[in-house]
Structure 1
Amino acid sequence: MKRRSFLVAAALAALPGMALAHGPSRQKISLTTEVAAAPEEVWATIGNFQDMSWHPAVHSSTGEGGNDIDATRLLVLGQEGGPTIAEVLYKYDAAKMTYSYRITDVAVEVLPVTNYSSHLTVTPRDGGGSKIEWKGAFYRGYPNNDPPPELNDEAAIAAVTGVYQAGLDALVAKFGAPGS
């Protein structure tokens, strides 16, 4: 009985140290914007998984499978021959104007994340126009403890936020802000 109590006490004492050594936490962000255009007009621009030409960082987008589950796309960033991001579609609902995708391949020097998934949704805005929500979940680019600054949680959050904000800003520039 004393041995069992000792083992339980030893296991409980080790728990705080184990909690510190578990590695990174999944990060989540969600950005929204509102535009003057009707949801159907916005969806016509962003609803095709194969075409991400609306995003200013994307030089070209090619893929296979259209908007079917497991469709793939390869984004070339910046300019011809630029860095790439490979993605796969895992949810698509045209009626609800939403889709979800995952990154299957990206260098952490390009986007400092791992295990990244994202959701893009267009909904009607009260008073007319549309609300666009882009949310994602991911881990930092460095999976172990003590990451270098360019691969830590803050760098991952800043990079994904920058991608989302640039895309949303481009949509506001294209469709106009409500009331403008």
Structure 2
Amino acid sequence: MRNLILSLLVFFSSLSAHAHGPTPQKAKEAIAINAPVAKVWGIAKQFGAIADWQPDLKQSTGDGLLQSGGKRTLTFQNGQSLVEELDYYNEQEHEYSYRLKTENPQAFPTSSHTVELKVNAGDTPDSSVVTLKSRFYRGDTGNTPPAELNDEAAVKAMNQFFTHALNGLKSKAEQ
């Protein structure tokens, strides 16, 4: 009986060792901005207007809904587009979260992603800290994705998107 139990344990543990497929990836970036929370939030809260401060985007349009279900379409500099949808929006807490609604790995190399944006008070009344964090899967969820759609490409793209977005928001808010 003991040998049977040991054999079953070895068998089931070997199954998990041979599992394939994507694992969730994460990204998190933050920036200090020399502008009060109200000013920074006034810019960042316009879900459909991210192209006003995110230089990777040629255009963004939204349906104007600042609540769960609100949608925006992002058009990247390469002309490719994707759609994102708000999951959560809180005016008082200066935060929202959204997810990829319509994937397009040629626009952005993820097959799914969720992102949280939060504006907090900084060290002084005239400063803020903005944090972006995400959980996502690579653009190709197969066992052997091409280099442009693998985990590394997705992590690099998300971190770069966050860095450009935060630097753009900082530049706009500090004007």
The alignment's TM-score, normalised by the length of structure 2, stands at 0.89
Aligned pair count reads: 173
Structure 2, unpaired ranges of 5+: none
Give the structure 1 partner of residue 117 of structure 2. 120
The alignment's TM-score, normalised by the length of structure 1, stands at 0.87
> What's the RMSD between the two structures over aligned residues?
2.0
Cα distance in 2 for partners of 1:11, 1:94 equals 51
Question: Deviation of residue 65 (structure 1)?
Answer: 4.7
Question: Deviation of residue 17 (structure 1)?
Answer: 4.2
2:95 pairs, out of 85, 93, 98, with 98
User: Does the 8 Å contact 2:72/2:84 carry over to 1?
Assistant: yes
User: Partner of 2:116: helix, strand, or coil?
Assistant: strand
1:51 aligns to 2:49 (yes or no): yes
Cα distance in 2 for partners of 1:36, 1:51 equals 21
Percent identical across equivalent pairs?
30
Give the structure 2 partner of residue 13 of structure 1. 11
User: Does the 8 Å contact 1:89/1:100 carry over to 2?
Assistant: yes
Change (3 A) 1:74 1:7: same
Matches within 5 A, 1:18-167: 18-52=16-50, 53-78=52-77, 82-128=79-125, 129-167=127-165
User: What code does the residue aligned with 1:87 have?
Assistant: E
User: Does the 8 Å contact 1:24/1:139 carry over to 2?
Assistant: yes
User: What code does the residue aligned with 1:25 have?
Assistant: T
Structure 1, unpaired ranges of 5+: none
